[in-house]
């Protein structure tokens, strides 16, 4: 085997040093280097060796994809653990290397004979240009090994001088924060037992001032739904890495002789021209999965903000009829249908249809919904239990706790079921399976409304994955939505077994513009649940126009969460127009390339979706706040074929500027024809909008 492996895909290049008996080392991760020709990279290893400096090791430290303290790496080690205080710094030597050129995949086995450890590393460059890697460690010794860290790393070049990551809270997920990439470690840890509303989807490093359409960026994602950590680290020697993995609590993983632990996949994405390119790689990768939803994403009516816990057959039938009239395609019955559930204080765990509310079960409602041509979905929260429930009273030992004598503090009046217990797991699986067999349910809104406190999360997360996998195996065609207090469980681990995420419990369209914008760094629009709420937001009290609410939801998996029986005929007719537009645009919105313009006015956002062949695009001009200038000036529309001519025109029903025109824009009524290069580099004059309004523009080639 050559000392260098050169993988190329979709504009990304990955060069790996596999010389000697060391672990693989990334020599280059970034722009595609091209064919290079015979021997074109032969000198790269020599050219990559750094000078030695005073008071340093005599030989430069090799920074492998699993940085080793034993090799002299002064930063965070890629693996940590101990065997009763010994074998604390593994020293792995490679034994075998297997290359799958077709899949651009390298598998390396290594061993630390003195430490009694074996290691397998997998490194792959996907067709979308994502680097993904994971590690598996096996205890080959005669006694137990306490594993505390297994976090693969990817190096980033010295040009990456800024860091972007995300934080947030319930109802305000995915808030960006930026700062300099200084010496030391920027560490993001999540100990909530779920991905977390404050989790960073990506740890991103980039050149100074990088944006959506400019600058080089490198980002890392940890595909795990439990405790996890990611870090950006720079040493005084000039080396910088992005690394991540599962956050293991003390004593959580004790490997008996012969046992193994495998890390979650770590994904790395590169963008030569900014964040849109980085995000587009994740989008293309997800869309290429065999499990990615391919059927048109149905317009979904969810009952939660329409009726809350006040459920009865007559009310829900009226709501279903109203939903069908505006064009909805799926009806989801939210929380409140099961035994004893009148509020959030009781009933979780008792997954039986409440006979007091539903004397004939859910059959009358399911039949009514199906009779209207709608599919039927149901809300569940299988990982949780209320202390006030028959299940908790019968099996208090099933509550997840560090000690039987000390219950974790309650949250939302509930505790967590210990699904790693076979008996608790079998109970939940049996009840959900029974519901899916009795009723024609094709969709579960799977909620998770509290953090795991004072409890180990590794076994719990693995059990939840098994539960979802088993249900889908038993019920082919079942779709699952990942909901966790809104957007608290958004990651590529849970998305291996779910069909979309509930992006946030906040339906305020202004907040949703921000939340969807940044969640879109990882997920394409068809995986982002986005609903039209009531005129007055239930979570913020803001009032927004229907066009702003619907135009915001358009750029996701469109749905409705509003008591349509209280809407006026005019409102329902207008909503039906938006539903019709969504259905017409679905192939474009859910198959095209997401773009975000860089307008100089921070109050005016520009975003859109361009068809894969660039033949058509839809853009939204969104007035997020009052501008310091009026008129708005030119807006540039990115992503189009620079050499093609496009007819640009307002797109009904999002064609009403609703702004204080001093005069009409000359091009607004009839549209304008311009080359894609002009639309991207010069732009067109935009209408001046009231705050919290939007308009849609459609560009059609030819």
Angle between helices 546-553 and 509-519 in degrees, nearest 10? 10
Residue 698's SS3 state is: strand
From the CA atom positions of the chain, what is the Rg in Å? 27
In whole angstroms, what is the distance from residue 313 CA to residue 368 CA?
10
In whole angstroms, what is the distance from residue 344 CA to residue 477 CA?
30
Where are any strands of DSSP class E within 247-322? 253-255, 260-262, 266-271, 300-302
Q: Residue 638 — φ and ψ, nearest 5°?
A: -85, 165
Count CB neighbours of 643 within 10 A.
8
Contact 166, 200 (CB under 8 A): yes
Rounded to the nearest 10°, the torsion over CA 71, 75, 81, 83 is 50
In sequence order, the β-bridge partners of residue 177 are 165
DSSP assignment of 396-445 equals GGGB--SBTTBPPPPBTTBEEB-TTSHHHHHHHHHHHHHHHHHS---EEE
Q: Are strands 500-502 and 479-482 parallel, antiparallel or unpaired?
A: parallel
In whole angstroms, what is the distance from residue 619 CA to residue 555 CA?
10
| Active-site residue, from 451, 499, 505, 547 | 505
- C-alpha torsion sign, points 176, 204, 80, 261: positive
Q: Does the annotation mark 2 as catalytic?
A: no
In whole angstroms, what is the distance from residue 571 CA to residue 326 CA?
10
Count CB neighbours of 535 within 10 A.
14
| Sequence-distant (≥ 6) Cβ neighbours of residue 72 within 8 angstroms | 57, 61
Residue 321's SS3 state is: helix
Q: Taking every pair of C-alpha atoms in the chain, what is the biggest distance, in angstroms?
A: 83
| Active-site residue, from 335, 447, 451, 547 | 447
| Sequence-distant (≥ 6) Cβ neighbours of residue 684 within 8 angstroms | 634, 635, 637, 648, 667, 672, 674
Q: Does the annotation mark 32 as catalytic?
A: no
In whole angstroms, what is the distance from residue 103 CA to residue 194 CA?
32
| Sequence-distant (≥ 6) Cβ neighbours of residue 275 within 8 angstroms | 164, 204, 210, 211, 212, 217, 521, 596
| Closest by Cα among 490, 434, 421, 433 to 460 | 421
Contact 663, 622 (CB under 8 A): no
Q: What DSSP designation does 342 have?
A: S
In sequence order, the β-bridge partners of residue 647 are 673, 700
* Residue for token pair 């290429």: 288
| Sequence-distant (≥ 6) Cβ neighbours of residue 433 within 8 angstroms | 471, 474, 475
| Closest by Cα among 6, 8, 57, 58 to 27 | 6
**Active site residue ranges:** 447, 505
């Amino acid at each position: 085997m050559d000392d260098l492996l050169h993988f190329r895909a979709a504009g990304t290049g990955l060069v790996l040093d596999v010389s000697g008996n060391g672990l693989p080392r990334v020599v280059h991760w970034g722009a595609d280097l091209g064919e290079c020709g015979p021997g074109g990279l032969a000198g790269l290893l020599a050219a990559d060796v750094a000078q030695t400096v005073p008071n340093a090791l005599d030989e430069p430290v090799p920074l492998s994809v699993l940085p080793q303290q034993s090799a002299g790496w002064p930063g965070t080690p890629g693996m940590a653990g101990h065997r009763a205080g010994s074998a604390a710094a593994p020293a792995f030597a490679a034994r075998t290397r297997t290359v799958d050129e077709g899949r651009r995949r390298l598998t390396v086995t290594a061993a630390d004979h003195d430490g009694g450890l074996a290691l397998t590393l997998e490194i792959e460059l996907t067709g979308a240009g994502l680097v993904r890697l994971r590690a598996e460690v096996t205890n080959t010794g005669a006694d137990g090994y306490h594993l505390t860290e297994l976090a693969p790393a990817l190096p980033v070049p010295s040009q990456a001088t800024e860091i972007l990551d995300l934080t947030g809270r319930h109802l305000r997920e995915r808030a960006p924060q930026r700062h300099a990439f200084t010496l030391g470690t920027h560490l993001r840890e999540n100990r909530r037992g779920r991905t977390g509303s404050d989790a960073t989807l990506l740890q991103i490093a980039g050149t100074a001032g990088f944006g959506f359409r400019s600058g080089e960026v490198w980002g890392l994602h940890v595909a795990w739904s439990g405790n996890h950590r990611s870090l950006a680290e720079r040493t005084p020697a000039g080396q910088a890495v992005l690394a991540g993995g599962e956050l293991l609590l003390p004593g959580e993983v004790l490997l008996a002789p012969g046992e193994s632990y495998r890390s979650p996949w770590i994904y790395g994405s590169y963008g030569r021209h900014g964040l849109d390119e980085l995000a587009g790689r994740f989008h293309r990768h997800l869309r290429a999965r065999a499990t990615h939803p391919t059927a048109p994403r149905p317009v979904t009516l969810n009952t939660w903000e329409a009726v809350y816990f006040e459920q009865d057959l007559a009310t829900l039938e009226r709501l279903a009829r109203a939903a069908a009239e505006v064009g909805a395609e799926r009806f989801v019955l939210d929380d409140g249908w099961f035994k004893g559930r009148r509020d959030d204080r009781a009933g979780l765990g008792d997954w039986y249809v409440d006979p007091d509310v539903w004397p004939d079960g859910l059959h009358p409602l399911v039949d009514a919904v199906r009779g209207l041509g709608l599919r039927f979905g149901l809300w569940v929260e299988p990982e949780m239990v209320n202390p006030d429930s028959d299940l908790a009273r019968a099996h208090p030992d099933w509550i997840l706790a560090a000690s039987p004598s000390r219950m974790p503090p309650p949250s939302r009046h509930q505790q967590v079921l210990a699904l790693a217990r076979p008996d608790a797991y079998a109970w939940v699986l049996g009840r959900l399976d029974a519901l899916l067999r009795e009723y024609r349910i094709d969709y579960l809104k799977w909620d998770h409304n509290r953090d795991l406190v004072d409890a180990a999360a590794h076994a719990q997360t693995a059990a939840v994955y098994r539960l979802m996998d088993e249900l889908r195996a038993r019920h082919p065609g079942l779709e699952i939505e990942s909901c966790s207090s809104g957007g608290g469980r958004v990651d590529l681990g849970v998305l291996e077994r779910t069909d979309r995420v509930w992006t946030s419990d906040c339906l305020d369209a202004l907040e949703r513009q921000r939340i969807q914008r940044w969640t879109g760094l990882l997920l394409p629009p068809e995986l982002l649940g986005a609903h039209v709420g009531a005129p007055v937001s239930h979570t913020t009290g803001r009032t927004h126009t229907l066009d702003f609410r619907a135009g915001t939801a358009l750029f996701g998996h469109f749905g409705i969460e509003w008591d349509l029986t209280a809407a006026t005929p005019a409102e329902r007719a207008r909503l039906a127009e938006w539903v019709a537009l969504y259905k017409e645009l679905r192939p474009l919105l859910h198959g095209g390339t997401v773009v975000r313009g860089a307008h100089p006015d921070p109050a005016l956002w520009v975003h859109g979706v361009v068809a894969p062949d660039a033949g058509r695009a839809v853009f939204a001009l969104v007035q997020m706040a009052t501008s310091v200038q009026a008129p708005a000036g030119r807006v540039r529309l990115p992503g189009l074929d620079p050499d093609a001519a496009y007819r640009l025109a307002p797109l009904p029903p999002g064609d009403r500027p609703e702004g204080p025109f001093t005069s009409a824009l000359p091009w607004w009524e009839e549209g304008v024809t311009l080359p894609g290069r002009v639309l991207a580099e010069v732009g067109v004059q935009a209408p001046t909008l009231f705050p919290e309004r939007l308009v849609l523009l459609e560009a059609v080639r030819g």
